[in-house]
Structure formats: C-alpha cells, structure tokens
Amino acid sequence: MSQTTRTSTADPADLLSGTTAQLRMATFRLARRLRAQRAVDTMSDGQFAVLAALKVHGSHTLGELAERERVTAPSMNRTVNCLEELGYLTRTTDEDDRRKVNIDLTPEGLAVVEETVRRRDAWLEQALAELTDEERATLAEAAAIMRKVVEL
C-alpha cells in the first residue's frame, strides 16, 4: 500500500486573508487589554480619548475635538460637559476671539491621563517581560510595520 504525498501550495489570497484576520483579532484583543488598564474605571474610552488628545495636542475648540475624534459636535458637547462636571477639563473664552471657547485639561485631567498611560505601560512591560528576546525584537519590528500601515 503506497501513500501519496501531496504538496499543497496555499493560495496567496487565502494567506493574505488569514493574516488579515489574525492581525485584526490580535490587535483588537491587545487594545482591549490595554484599555482595561485605566486610572478611572468608570471613564469611557471616548472620554479618555478626549483627555489624551488635549494632553498630546493642547487646547482645542469643541468643533476641533469633534473632528479629531470623528464624532458629531452634539456628541462631543455631551462628552465635554461630563468631563467638565468631573473636573477633568475647563472651557475658557479665547482672549483674541471672544466667540471662540477653548477646552483645556485641568491638573486632575492631566493626572488621569498620566496615571492611565503609566498603568498601560506597566501592564505591557510586564507582558513583554514574559517573552523571549527574539519575540520582543519581532514585536518591535511589527510595531514599526504597523505604524507604516496606519500612515498609508
């Protein structure tokens, strides 16, 4: 009785599709685990994104924040109102254009962003410590490739 050895060559389209699905799922799962590491458990991802945008990019108007976060102005207004009530940001009239209102972080808002980033970095550092040097090097290369993909 003879056995026939069949060599199969995978279809490149199937490989791309499989890689796409694996990368998407791994990225979503990693993002979910990182989002779970936050300074304020009751804060939504959208609320934190607003605080983080203000930390990174500085003062914004409501419209600028809405555009940056790709939400409607009324939706952003609700988010900003909530964050203002919690003491994480302030609204101030622009000195040059009195019709314009600038939204800025308060020291409390800045502390939430910094503590959340610290927790997320600590969690990821701990997870990476469980990997081999080779695996960490591979992830460093993958991070550079992912940044490239995002910028396409």
Q: Could you tell me the residue ranges of all domains in the chain?
A: 37-151
Are 65 and 80 contacting, i.e. CB atoms less than 8 angstroms apart? yes
User: CA nearest 76: which of 58, 99, 103?
Assistant: 103
Q: pLDDT (tens digit, 9 = 90+) per residue, 16-75?
A: 777 888 999 999 999 999 999 999 989 999 999 999 999 999 999 999 999 999 999 999
Does the domain made of 37-151 have the CATH classification 1.10.10.10?
yes
Instruction: Confirm whether pTM is higher than 0.85.
Output: no
